[in-house]
Amino acid sequence: MSDQIEIERTVEGLKHEIELKEKLHRLLQNPDFKDLILEGYIKDEAVRSTKLLGDPAMRANQRAFDSTIDELKAIGLFDSHLRTVEQKGMYAEEQLQAYEAMQLEDDAEE
């Protein structure tokens, strides 16, 4: 594979990561998403589940305890995914700028 084709594929991948970040930003501005997901799930459900873990009846029921731990893990993984989309998008923007600067230098040399 030529270097040019590899660069083009890399640039396409970077643009895809940037598009995902932009989609995330649109979601984060959506009042319904904020209410249902950010507040209702990531924040409120995590607090509710954490409080349940302190309940003596919950600790006595291993199945319910394990289920609540799994719920907290799921919330954490989802939140982590959103943060990863943001971070990958920011990194992609930086890398795309570097590729574009390289291309400008190559064009100027030709």
pLDDT tens for each residue of 38-49 = 999 999 999 999
Q: What was the pLDDT predicted at 77?
A: 98
CA atoms within 13 A on the CB side of 54: 4
In tens, the pLDDT along 21-73 reads 999 999 999 999 999 999 999 999 999 999 999 999 988 999 999 999 999 99
Residue 110's pLDDT is what? 64
CA 21 – CA 16 distance, rounded (Å): 9
